[in-house]
Amino acid sequence: MKIEFTKMHGAGNDYVYVDCTKEMLPNPGAISEYVSHRRFGIGSDGLICVCKSDVADFKMRMFNADRSEGKMCGNGVRCVAKFVHDKGLTDKTTITLETLSGVKEIEMVVENGEVVGAKVDMGKPVFRATEIPMNCDHYIFVDQAIVLNDNHDDVTKEKVFYNGTAISMGNPHFVTFVDDVDSLNLEELGPQFEHHKLFPEGVNTEFVQVLDKNTVKFRVWERGSGETWACGTGASAVTVACIMLNKAGKKGEPLNVHCKGGLLKVTHELNDHVTLEGNAVAVFDGVIDIPESIINE
């Protein structure tokens, strides 16, 4: 099965985008795993299908590199806006997009007829632990400790404690502050958070270093994809946590949030919504032949 696609990224958070407004892909989770492989596929953090919607201008279905379907991706929705505008699927410069975490409004930045970036209303953060969801007795989980190695068979292995804040931005996040984010071994740390018993559906984890009162940088371990170069919902959660804990930023003003793939500007608005601003880049178009064995799994 041959599929036309566009490889795109927002701040280095890259996905393979497919026009599914006429027909949805068969077995999209398996296709996502196939195209995402960085040696044997196209190479991406996952697959995003741009579909028709009954409640918005378009609908986004996103699949991670491990086949699982995600609910929301802040960098992904910006690229969806560029995709539908630049491909001529709409002439609007502000669209609504249906996601599994609700309908999002995206305001495009257009230069010379092409979308170069976008601003997204990410909605309100959710703090109630049962809605994130978490397995704990806390009503909210703010600046509380998570214990790593708690279930390790080797009783001699030292337990490690990380204080952090749990926030949902349509998907679960755990934000923890560190002194030096670049020195962390995320390949070792990330899975311990992602599969922690406190998070029955897994969790995205943001490791944040405060640079000054207006600037932070972070690395992110995304459930289902591993370390990615950016995460829009993660940057949103980082901003909310920074302001809540008086680490950086101020409500109603943009915070500079640096990730491995570039700069995102995030504002926790006075109405409690979070807005995310960043680039949207088309890397290349192509056609890939998906083996029937993948389609028919």
Q: What is the rounded distance in angstroms from the CA atom of residue 267 to the CA atom of residue 67?
A: 31
Q: CA-CA distance, 12 to 44, in Å (whole number)? A: 10
222 is known to lie in a ligand binding site: yes
Whether 276 contacts 259, CB under 8 Å: no
Cα 291 to Cα 124: distance, rounded to the nearest angstrom: 41
74 is an annotated ligand-binding site residue: yes
pLDDT of residue 152: 52
Secondary structure element (H or E) that encloses residue 69, with its range? strand 69-70
- Number of CB atoms found within 10 A of residue 94's CB: 13
On whether 226 is known to bind a ligand per the annotation, the reply is no
Quote the pLDDT of residue 149: 75
Q: What single-letter DSSP state applies at residue 130?
A: G
Q: How many residues comprise the chain? A: 297
The two tokens of residue 256 are 């500079």
pLDDT in tens, the chain (297 residues): 999 999 999 999 999 999 999 999 999 999 999 999 999 999 999 999 999 999 999 999 999 999 999 999 999 999 999 999 999 999 999 999 999 999 999 999 999 999 999 999 999 999 999 999 999 999 999 999 999 976 555 555 678 999 999 999 999 999 999 999 999 999 999 999 999 999 999 999 999 999 999 999 999 999 999 999 999 999 999 999 999 999 999 999 999 999 999 999 999 999 999 999 999 999 999 999 999 999 998
Distance CA 96, CA 60 (A): 10
CB distance 75 to 204 below 8 Å: no
Give the pLDDT confidence score for residue 255 in this predicted structure.
98
252: left (phi over 0), alpha (psi -120 to 50) or beta: left
13 carries a ligand binding annotation: yes
Domains and CATH numbers, the chain: 2-119+280-295 (3.10.310.10), 129-272 (3.10.310.10)
Which one, of 206, 144, 197, 155, lies nearest residue 178 by Cα?
206
Token digits of residue 155? 């009783």
Residues tagged active-site: 73, 231
The single residue listed with the structure tokens 């596929």 is 41
CA end-to-end distance (rounded Å), the chain = 14
Q: Is 223 within any annotated ligand binding site?
A: yes
